[in-house]
Amino acid sequence: MLKKYNLWQLLLVSALSAIFVIYPDITWLPFELKWLGNADKTSHIVFFLFRYTFFIGLIFILITSNLRYLKNFSYKKRLGYSILISVFAYALYGAISFLAFTKVRHFGSLVLFQFFIVSVLSSLMGHIVMLYSEKRKKEKQIKELTLQHLQSRYDALTNQINPHFFFNSLNGLTSLIRKKNDEITLAYVDKLSDVFRYILQSDKKGLVSLAEELSFVDSFRYMMEVRFANKLEYHINVDSSKLASSLPVLSILPLLDNVVVHNMIDSDHKMVIDIYLNEQNELVVSSPIYPKLSAPLTNGTGLKNLESRFLLLMSKPIKVENDGIKFTVYLPLK
């Protein structure tokens, strides 16, 4: 707290607090001066200013002590030390008053009560600051733990993508090697390296721009179009002004991969995947449904994984539509 508030701010707080403490003296001052002579009035005003200044100094010392030296103490200990300091201050106040202001009433129950109030309020202020600081510290720790937990969950979800895609890609490469078309095979390997570079770097990213995702899709598209000859096409229609929008990294990959896993793609079942933006600023990935004769061996985590990542990073769910003819997924953008 002392780092946050400078000396003048603490003195201002002390001055305002001192006004509150001696408020009864302020209200009675005009009535007391009314019955005094000119010489006594001057002495009384000087004594009043001395009392006010003394309380400012005492409050400043107590606040500083509570914020700096007693910051880890319980309220009882704070109050005890504050009262002890106030007792010494009261003795000093009495000695100065007795020696310097011989014609002025120096002591009384009100003065003693004011010293006690100063002790209580200063201790209470220090205790409240301590509780507030501890609350902020715990909130910071909770926030850090929450972020760490979310990051670990996100990393676990992202890691589920890589093995699935890895084996599918190797199958495509194996097929090309068997056909002994070196030029296409080399281009495929080049695109495959771009794809895997993006995937390997994804663990360092949370949200990426739509432009980055579509650049990745371009490399992936080449691999899939080579793998399936002319039986698989991608139609991408995205306004360039929307390319700065954000979404979780590797959002499109599981959708494109699922099309290959769950559908027949051959001369009789030409697959056309549409990727576009709708009026709700959602990225839409849509494809016809050509179900395989036998259900694919999959654990069904692809869409659940994607849903979890959008909820973690975007606090928004994805939408899935399946009317038996087309399978469409809507990805919200940020």
Burial class of residue 306 (count of CB atoms within 10 Å of its CB; 0-12, 13-18, 19+): buried
The pTM of the full predicted model, rounded to 2 decimals, is 0.51
β-pair type (271-277, 232-237): parallel
DSSP code, position 180: T
Per-residue tokens: 225? 């179009």
Tell me how far apart the alpha carbons of residues 24 and 315 are, in angstroms, rounded to a whole number.
Answer: 57
Characterise 190 by phi-psi region: left (phi > 0), alpha (psi -120 to 50), beta (else).
Answer: alpha
What is the pLDDT tens value at each position of the chain, 334 positions in all?
444 557 777 788 888 888 888 887 788 777 777 777 776 777 778 888 888 888 888 888 888 887 777 767 777 787 888 888 888 888 888 788 777 775 555 556 777 788 888 888 888 877 787 777 778 877 776 676 566 555 545 554 455 555 556 666 666 677 667 777 677 778 777 777 887 777 777 666 778 899 988 888 888 888 777 777 778 888 888 888 888 888 888 888 888 888 888 888 888 888 899 999 988 889 999 999 988 877 666 655 667 777 877 887 788 889 999 988 999 999 999 8
6 φ/ψ angles, rounded to the nearest 5 degrees: -85, 180
**DSSP codes of every residue in 9-72:** HHHHHHHHHHHHHTHHHHHHHHHHHHTS-HHHHHHHHHHHHHHHHHHHHHHHHHHHHHHHTSTT
Per-residue tokens: 81? 């030390």
Per-residue tokens: 94? 């009495």
Domain ranges in the chain are 7-146, 160-332
Domain range 160-332, its CATH number among 3.30.565, 3.30.70, 3.30.160, 1.20.1630: 3.30.565
**DSSP codes of every residue in 103-135:** TS----HHHHHHHHHHHHHHHHHHHHHHHHHHH
Tell me how far apart the alpha carbons of residues 5 and 66 are, in angstroms, rounded to a whole number.
Answer: 14
Instruction: Give the pLDDT of residue 220.
Output: 80
